[in-house]
């Protein structure tokens, strides 16, 4: 990931000189002159470090620090001031600052502080394991990372619950990577994708002559996972008969191939995942309670994307970076503020998988260096001029500072679209997902034609 900073200071000379110093050192630097500009920058981008001037007109650096921490920003914050005192430094630390510097600042000292905070990132982006593909810094995902850290080194059976597209297999791979079995195989099995007879043979193997077409002995995936981890994805879709057979694997550490009479010893850790409520399935008689207890020794709930909207900018950045690596072509590296706002307000029923597909589609449509709102899929743009937008913390509500009145929200949405479209009503109408006639009518109703 890039090393990107936001420098907020009302002193233009300091912004220019310090920005140049940091860019020469290899950092990407955005600047803002006050808290309002900083808020717009944070809405549209992801950063690895914030540098905040303590005293600024309007909202102070201390006030901006509080706002950033309240909204869930966990990246390091370096406070900078020309009025440094012990009291202000202590107060900044209490509010969540990671370090403090007083002007005039020695360049070497500044670079050392910035480099140390980014490399350490105690509150920043968390990655469970190298190449796991998991990206997140929200409180919800930090809880997931902590759970993986607890269960990974053990040999305990784990159950991952989460909606489709939330990344359950990535978490399972991270558990495997954190375990003493990491050098062994990771064997995924999708229990929902195969018919019962095929799944039975795939899991447990078969002997020659066990059924028509069985012309040789074939070990199953349980044996293939010996010394490593067996991942049972969508285990809630497994039939009751196969659940009984899997229970034996967990209890006896042995597998009986189809057509066999002699069990085969196997040493495989089992990690399972499901989008179903297995306790409710057990109450309905569709899932064995004894197997549920065996699988649910350690349970991890993976939150849907709508519960961790603050991770969306980071996921978008990571998705674009992976797309560029995969395609070998230059792709847009960021989204416009309005496009990112739409991405954050959409509910994403398909979760991270749907988001990454939408980002890839938008990147292919984009003409410039950034993804614009009109590049996004219609359903994402369909959040619309009259729809209430959701807050970062859930599926309803509105972001701080958003107009409460529906008419005011509609007016603000149209103004944003026009600003992004450079005043072009045709482009703004496309952004909003409405016709030019409808846009003209709404502008007339809201007094915007003048």
Phi/psi at 264 (5° precision): -115, 130
The CA-based angle 311-317-318, given to 5 degrees, is 85
Cβ proximity of 376 and 341 under 8 Å:
no
**Separation CA 170–CA 347 (nearest Å):** 21
Q: Domain residue spans in the chain? A: 4-120, 139-303, 306-445
CA distance linking residue 109 with residue 3, whole number of Å = 18
Token reading at 197: 């007879």
Distance, C-alpha 351 to centroid of its chain: 9
Question: How many residues in the chain?
Answer: 450
**3-state SS of the chain?**
CCCEEEEECCCHHHHHHHHHHHHHCCCEEEEECCHHHHHHHHHHCCCCEEEEECCCCCCCHHHHHHHHHHCCCCCCEEEEECCCCHHHHHHHHHCCCCEEEECCCCHHHHHHHHHHHHHHCCCCCCCCCCCCCCCCCCHHHHHHHHHHHHHCCCCCCEEEECCCCCCHHHHHHHHHHCCCCCCCCEEEEECCCCCHHHHHHHHHCECCCCCCCCCCCECCHHHHCCCCEEEEECHHHCCHHHHHHHHHHHHHCEECCECCCCCEECCCEEEEEECCCHHHHHHCCCCCHHHHHHHCCEEEECCCHHHCHHHHHHHHHHHHHHHHHHHCCCCCCEECHHHHHHHHHCCCCCHHHHHHHHHHHHHHHCCCCEECHHHCCHHHHCCCCCCCCCCCCCCCCCCCCCCCCHHHHHHHHHHHHHHHCCCCHHHHHHHHCCCHHHHHHHHHHCCCCC
Q: Which CATH number fits domain 139-303: 3.10.20.310, 3.40.50.300, 3.40.50.2300, 3.20.20.70?
A: 3.40.50.300
> What's the rounded Cα separation, in Å, for the pair 214 and 205?
10
User: Across-strand partners of 6?
Assistant: 30, 50
- Tell me the pLDDT of the chain (450 aa) as tens digits: 457 888 998 888 888 999 899 988 888 899 988 888 888 888 767 788 888 887 777 777 777 877 777 665 667 888 887 655 555 656 666 666 777 777 778 888 888 888 877 765 544 444 433 345 788 878 788 788 888 888 988 899 999 999 999 999 999 999 998 888 988 999 999 998 888 878 888 888 877 766 666 667 778 899 899 999 999 999 999 999 999 999 999 999 998 887 777 788 999 999 999 999 999 999 999 999 999 999 999 999 999 999 999 889 888 888 888 888 887 677 887 888 888 888 988 999 999 999 999 999 999 988 878 898 889 998 888 744 333 333 333 333 333 344 456 677 778 878 877 877 767 787 777 777 778 888 888 888 888 886
CA distance 180 to 176: 8
> Tokens 């359950």 — which residue?
168
Domains 4-120 and 139-303 share a fold: yes
CB 160 within 8 A of CB 171: yes
- Select from 1.10.10.1100, 1.10.8.60, 1.10.357.10, 1.10.240.10 the CATH code of 306-445: 1.10.8.60
Task: Give every CB contact of residue 241 below 8 A, 6+ residues apart in sequence.
Answer: 196
Location of structure tokens 């966990």: 74
Q: Are 248 and 254 in contact (CB under 8 A)?
A: yes
For domain 4-120, give the CATH number.
Answer: 3.40.50.2300
Asked whether the whole model's pTM tops 0.85, one would answer: no
How far, in Å, CA of 256 to CA of 237, rounded? Answer: 21
Between CA 343 and CA 355 the distance in angstroms is 8
Using an 8 Å Cβ cutoff, are 363 and 371 in contact? yes
Reading the block at residue 204, the tokens are 């447990």
Strand partners, 51: 7, 78
Tokens of 160: 């991952």
| Phi, psi values for residue 51, rounded to 5° | -115, 115
Determine the Cα–Cα distance for residues 148 and 157; give it in Å rounded to an integer: 12
Using a 10 angstrom Cβ sphere, with 0-12 exposed, 13-18 middle and 19 or more buried, the burial of residue 114 is buried
Q: What is the pLDDT of residue 92?
A: 66
């Amino acid at each position: 990931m890039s090393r990107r900073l936001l420098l907020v200071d009302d002193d233009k000379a300091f912004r220019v000189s310090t920005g140049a110093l940091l860019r020469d050192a290899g950092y990407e630097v955005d600047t803002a002159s006050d808290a309002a500009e900083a808020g717009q920058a944070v809405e549209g981008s992801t950063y690895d470090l914030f540098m905040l001037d303590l005293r600024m007109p309007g909202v102070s650096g201390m006030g901006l620090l509080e706002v950033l921490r309240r909204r869930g920003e966990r990246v390091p914050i370096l406070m900078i001031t020309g009025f440094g005192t012990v009291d202000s430094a202590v107060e900044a630390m209490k509010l969540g600052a990671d370090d403090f510097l007083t002007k005039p600042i020695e360049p070497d000292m500044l670079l050392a502080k910035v480099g140390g905070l980014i490399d350490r990132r105690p509150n920043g982006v968390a990655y469970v394991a190298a190449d796991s593909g998991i990206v997140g810094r929200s409180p919800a995902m930090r809880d997931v990372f902590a759970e993986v850290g607890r269960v990974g080194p053990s040999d305990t059976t784990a159950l991952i619950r989460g909606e489709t597209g939330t990344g359950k297999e990535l978490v399972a791979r991270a558990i495997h990577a954190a375990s003493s079995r990491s050098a062994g195989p990771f064997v995924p099995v999708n229990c929902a994708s195969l018919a019962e007879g095929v799944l039975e043979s795939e899991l447990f193997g078969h002997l020659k002559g066990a059924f028509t077409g069985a012309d040789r002995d074939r070990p199953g995936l349980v044996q293939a996972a010996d010394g490593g981890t067996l991942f049972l994805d969508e285990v809630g879709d497994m039939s009751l008969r196969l659940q009984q057979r899997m229970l034996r694997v967990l209890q006896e550490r042995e597998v009986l191939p189809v057509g066999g009479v002699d069990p085969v010893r196997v040493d495989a850790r089992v990690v399972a995942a499901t989008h179903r409520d297995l306790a409710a399935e057990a109450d309905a008689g569709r899932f064995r309670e004894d197997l549920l207890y065996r699988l649910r020794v350690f349970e991890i709930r993976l939150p849907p994307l709508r519960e961790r909207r603050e991770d969306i900018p980071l996921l978008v950045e990571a998705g674009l970076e992976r797309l560029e690596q995969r395609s070998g072509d230059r792709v847009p590296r960021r989204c416009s503020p309005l496009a990112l706002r739409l991405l954050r307000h959409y509910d994403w029923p398909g979760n991270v998988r749907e988001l990454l597909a939408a980002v890839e589609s938008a990147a292919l449509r984009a003409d410039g260096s950034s993804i614009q709102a009109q590049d996004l899929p219609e359903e994402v743009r369909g959040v619309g001029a009259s729809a209430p937008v959701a807050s970062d913390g859930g599926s309803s509500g509105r972001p701080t500072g958003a107009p409460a009145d529906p008419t005011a929200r509609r007016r603000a949405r149209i103004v944003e679209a026009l600003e992004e479209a450079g005043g072009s009503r045709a482009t703004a109408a496309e952004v909003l997902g409405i016709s030019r006639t409808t846009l003209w009518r709404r502008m007339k109703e809201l007094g915007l034609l003048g």
